[in-house]
Amino acid sequence: MLSSKFTFDYFGSPSEQQTNSGNQMYYTDPNYPDGNVGGSTPTWRKRKSDGLSAQLDNMFSFKTGPVRHKFLITLDYTHKKDSDRRLTTDTGSSFPSNDLSARYIIRDKNDNSVIYPLTLPLGPRSTGVLRWNTAAQSATQPIPQYSYYEGEQLLPWPHTDYSFWFPTYDDYSRLYVRTSNDTIGKSDDYGVFASERATFFDGRLMLLVGGRFDQLQNNFQNRASTDPAMRASAWDDHAFTYQAGLTGYATRNIILFANASSAYNPNMQVVSKRVSTVTYDDDGYPTGESDVRFLSTVLPNEEGDGYEFGTRFVLFKDRLNITASRFVINRDNKVDSYTNEFGISEYVGNGSQQSKGYEVEFNWAVTGALQVNGAYGYNDTRYTRNSLAYLVGAPTAQNAKNNYSLLFRYRFRNGALKGLSVQGGVRYYDRSLINVGSGGLITTNPYATGSYKPLLRNARMGTGVLPFPTLPEGLVILSRTCTVSRIDGAGKRVGGEEPTGAINPNTGALMVNNQLDKGFTPGVNIPSDWISYTGQPMEAGRTYYIIDGDGQTSASYIYKANIDDNRANVYNRSYAIYNIGASYTFKTGSRCAHALRFNISNLFDKFYTYGNGVRGYGREFSVGYSVDFR
């Protein structure tokens, strides 16, 4: 028997959002006393996602002896367009500034005169140790003086809404003068899916196998880019995914199941990669670089696979269902960012993560009117591969390890309230890491800029990972002193390229020669009790070292690593959100069913943050109506 179904959908979801520093909000809740002081970046973001999809399903049902089959072939097409435009206020280079022309004098919601940009307290996404310090104003200096200093700073109490005020786009659109993002992404996905579901032993054993092929065409425009090569990109891609499952009835009340599948997530992100050409003088010595440019690179699609197995119990005449399962999910081609030797953040699609956990769910019909649903989940997600070595084995960001939910629903089946349902429930989430940062680069290369270190020790980082995993733990890596000092063809003396600031390990004093002795030279400034490492066993209590580089060329210095930049210790707090609601269903005629719904989310107006430090919504009210023609 053949049955076919065709569906066509059009979807659109425009949105406008006020944020600070992207999703970084400035919180007023005194439960977050870890705030630092920093400048805000109010942002007005306008997004729109729309498209259409068409799908044709063809189901073939037949039998081969005692085995029942359902063979499905699906053809589908999806077109999607996403636009994202962001406007920001003046920030960054002009802040702090004593120039009145670089600032705006405006009025806040309490009708007080305010100079903007201004210093604002920062919420739980605060990182680092540098803080803004505000000196007193004077008659001759109406603009407050700002300076950096190190150490902790406590916010003044009590916190008020006005302490965290910033100009919104609705009230001060003239301040939003910078376009930080203006992109349009389009994609066309042509898909074919086929699956076979076979049932054996009178329904006691079911087998499912299936596969899907997708052909994608992508187009990405970055209208804010000044580089013509980055303004438009077009590429094709394809993917194959599979699914397989087995379900068996051990008894009427005990059901065993196992599933495996793969998936992909199309990546519409186009990033830039820095490339350059090394320049040399007449004597063949490197003098710097030229032809610095940024090439557009399309990141690969995110891919994944995983499996799940578990047991479902059907008890008390089908009134109580309990499901317990174990799952493992692998994700590959995750987008990573790291800081290169030029201090620029680069993005690559080569990260991997693995999630392992358990889930327990139940559905209990206590009576014909009262129903209780509950669930508990444990999810341990960690990095298994990352461009930042210190993250391997560490927990991923924005993941709550424990969560649970409980929902009560009561439906009136008789009397004057027939058709009315009321419900109430709670959802709880563990604390979650907000951000892991992009690391800070350290290198023995004296031709590098601020990332140069004349001495590196291969010590384990907070995650237990060595920055140089191929070298022994505790080994010291020394940068060889630059020795380039000669007379060039024009009769001019040229010296080493090394930066200042190295420490003499013998005296502990700062080296001051701007041309020589910024690294280490055997027999000159390496402590006499240190031992040159050549692969021999390392004795406890002794210091072993190797020397990196030849003192002549930048390319000879090979040791560099990304280390934790201390952003991996800021968390969203755990929180519980309570929700209540009611619905009323009724019929008009024999084929028309109506439903009215009213819900209150976050009943107690709980302050919380989630994901990338985004402030959660406060108390929300929603009303809905639906009609079903049968």
Share of the chain above pLDDT 90, in %: 39
Contact 339, 438 (CB under 8 A): yes
- Do 470 and 592 sit in the same domain of this protein? no
In a domain, 546, yes or no: yes
Residue that has been written with the tokens 């940024």 in this structure: 294
pTM of the prediction? Answer: 0.70
Same domain (yes/no): 559, 618: no
Q: What single-letter DSSP state applies at residue 569?
A: T
* Res 121 pLDDT > 50: no
Range from 45-59, 65-79, 80-94 carrying the lowest mean pLDDT: 80-94
Produce one character per residue of 305-320: b if its CB has 16 or more CB atoms within 10 Å, e if not.
Answer: bbebebebebeeeeee
* Radius of gyration for the alpha carbons in the chain, expressed in angstroms and rounded: 31
**Which of 162, 196, 218 is at the close of a domain?**
218
Same-domain pairing of 447 and 553: yes
CA atoms within 13 A on the CB side of 336: 25
| Among 68-82, 261-275, 383-397, 579-593, the least confident range | 261-275
pLDDT, average across residues 399-422: 94
Range of the domain at 78: 1-12+43-90+179-218
CA-nearest of 15, 31, 170, 14 to 615 is 31
- Over residues 398-410, the pLDDT tens digits come to 889 999 999 999 9
Q: Residue 179: what pLDDT?
A: 87
**How many independent structural domains does the chain possess?**
3
How many beta carbons lie within 10 A of that of residue 278, not counting itself? 13
Q: What is the mean pLDDT of residues 287-310?
A: 79
- Shared-domain flag, residues 475 and 561: yes
| Per-residue pLDDT at 140 exceeds 60 | no
* Out of 122-131, 471-480, 563-572, least confident range: 122-131
- Quick one: what percent of the chain has pLDDT higher than 70? 69
* Mean predicted confidence (pLDDT) in 534-543: 93
* pLDDT score for 283: 56
- pLDDT tops 90 at residue 394: no
Contact 453, 443 (CB under 8 A): yes
Closest C-alpha among 50, 24, 303 to residue 185: 50
Say if residue 479 is in the same domain as residue 583. no
Of 223-232, 395-404, 543-552, 588-597, the least confident: 223-232
- Predicted local distance difference test score (pLDDT) of residue 446: 74
Instruction: Output the pLDDT for position 298.
Output: 74
DSSP conformation class of 254:
E
Residue 617 is assigned to a structural domain of this protein: yes
Based on the fold, state whether residues 585 and 560 are members of the same structural domain: no
Question: Are residues 57 and 7 both part of a single domain?
Answer: yes
d(CA 572, CA 569): 10
Residue 16 phi, psi dihedral angles, 5° rounding: -130, 135
Residue entry with tokens 């733990």: 473
Which of residues 546, 566, 586 is at a domain's end? 566
Domain co-membership, 461 together with 537: yes
Q: Would you say residue 291 has pLDDT above 50?
A: yes
Whether 462 is in a domain gets the answer: yes
Q: 211 pLDDT band (50/70/90 cuts)?
A: very high
* CA nearest neighbour of 339 among 560, 91, 181, 40: 560
Q: Which residue has the higher pLDDT, 346 or 519?
A: 519
Question: Is the residue at 614 inside a domain?
Answer: yes
Position 469 in a domain: yes
Q: Tell whether 560 and 577 lie within a shared domain.
A: no
Domain boundary among 524, 548, 566: 566
Tell whether 462 and 577 lie within a shared domain.
no
On whether residue 22 sits in a domain, the answer given is: no
The single residue listed with the structure tokens 């799908």 is 55
Does any domain span residue 550? yes
The reply to whether 76 falls in a domain is yes
**Residue the block writes with tokens 């097409």:** 77
- Tell me which of 84-98, 190-204, 296-310 is least confident: 84-98
Same domain? 540 vs 458: yes
479: Cα within 13 Å, side-chain hemisphere: 34
Q: Identify the residue with better confidence: 401 or 90.
A: 401
User: What is residue 154's predicted lDDT score, i.e. its pLDDT?
Assistant: 33
Residue 34 has what pLDDT?
34
Q: How far is CA 610 from CA 37, 272, 430, 600, 613, in A?
A: 21, 29, 10, 19, 5
Please tell me whether residues 615 and 586 are part of one structural domain: yes
- The answer to whether 466 touches 460, Cβ cutoff 8 Å, is yes
Name the band, by pLDDT with cuts 50, 70 and 90, for residue 284: low
**398 CB-contact burial (10 Å; exposed 0-12 / middle 13-18 / buried 19+):** middle
